[in-house]
Amino acid sequence: MEQKIEFICEWRTNKYTITELCKAFEISRPTAYKLIDRYEKQGIEGLRERAKKPINHPNRTKEKVEQYILDLKKRHSKWGAKKIHRLLFNHCSPEDIPSVVTVHNILSKNGLVCPQKRLRRVKPIYPIFDPKSCNEVWSADYKGKFVMGNRKYCHPLTIADSKSRFVFTAKAHYRETFKDAKLEFTRVFNKYGLPRQIHTDNGGPFGSVSAIQRFTRLSYWFIELGILPVFSDPAHPEQNGRHERMHRDLKAACALPSAYDLKSQQRSLNKFVEEYNYVRPHEALGMETPASMHQFSSREYPSRIPRYDYPTHMKVMNVYTNGYVRWRSNYWVFISRGAERKQVAAEEQGNGIWKVFYRNVFLGYFNENDLRKKKTQTRLSAILV
């Protein structure tokens, strides 16, 4: 730039010819005339370097498509280039749609890309429940509580199919209680049918690490419906990573910021569920929506809990409100407070060992010899010792 300015200054003195100036500055005559022409038309700014990219390019994204990409990003600010690229096929002709990289570059050029911090990958700890078909495993959890505008806490209960990622509900509750959870599960079961298993963490009302097999009142109700409760290992939320990832999107859409009260918060959650199921493409589903992949369960919710008859060789016992069963009139075996007012059955294994079931689900063992050693009560054990 300094040499260009010096060339123009020497040229304006009218002391030298163009040929002499070109020889002194070691440039060609066409270059010299080009600099003079730019200076006369634009002044000093005309001497600056210009972009060498072509003004028009045959493969350039059409302005209409580019504007639609920006509109989609404004509508779905948390979505990336892959999801926006998939939505273009619903509104644009395929020959006009750019690649995912081009969509990302358009967003980046307009300052709409927020770089993400790279997270350290954690090696998953098994068992991880990876279903092969819809309704084989559902996942459920309470999204971490957050404060609403009225200074009260909202606890959203979420239920989803682990295969199709279809979210059945995101129900706002003031508290995480058995009554509220059972009411919402009943509504979902009536509408979508029953799964084979329900995968949850160990927090209430789903599970309890201090209870036998971690079963709670809600777990025993699931068993009565023919659903097996399964749990992540304690302190390992990554074993239900699909559900936790959905919670991250729910938090960004509904809790940042939150609504004023529970009613308006529920409207926000319903809007999120509708968009998540029917609009948002899911990368794990080949950029299809969960609604397009989900199938209704063939197992209907029963109007009454079906009666269960234990085999005749088993000893049937009633669980009292304190969680104990009476054993041979004088002794007590603790089962669980969650199983109160239910019937369990014991099957003899030999040498005083008894195996206890609730319906067709194994609960634990107890040793009859421990009761006879002047002990009045004992507890079930999940393993035989």
User: Looking at domain 137-293, which CATH architecture does it have?
Assistant: 2-Layer Sandwich (3.30)
Identify the three-state secondary structure at position 282. Answer: strand
Asked if 162 and 199 touch (Cβ cutoff 8 Å), the reply is yes
β-strand 343-350 against 353-358: which pairing, if any? antiparallel
Q: Rounded to 10 degrees, what is the CA torsion of 277, 278, 280, 284?
A: 60
Yes or no: say if 238 and 127 are a contact pair by the CB < 8 Å rule.
no
Summarised one tens digit per residue, pLDDT across range 173-222 is 999 999 999 999 999 999 999 999 999 999 989 999 999 999 999 999 99
Partners of 348 in the beta sheet?
354
Q: What is the pLDDT of residue 126?
A: 46
227, pLDDT greater than 90: yes
Q: Could you tell me the CA-to-CA distances from 244 to 49, 97, 141, 165, 228 in Å, in that order?
A: 51, 33, 9, 12, 21
Going from N- to C-terminal start, the domains of the chain cover 2-47, 63-109, 137-293, 315-379
pLDDT tens figures, 349-382:
999 899 999 999 999 999 988 887 756 778 888 7
Q: What pLDDT is attached to residue 281?
A: 92
Other beta carbons less than 10 A from residue 343's beta carbon:
14
At the second CATH level, the architecture of 63-109 is Orthogonal Bundle (1.10)
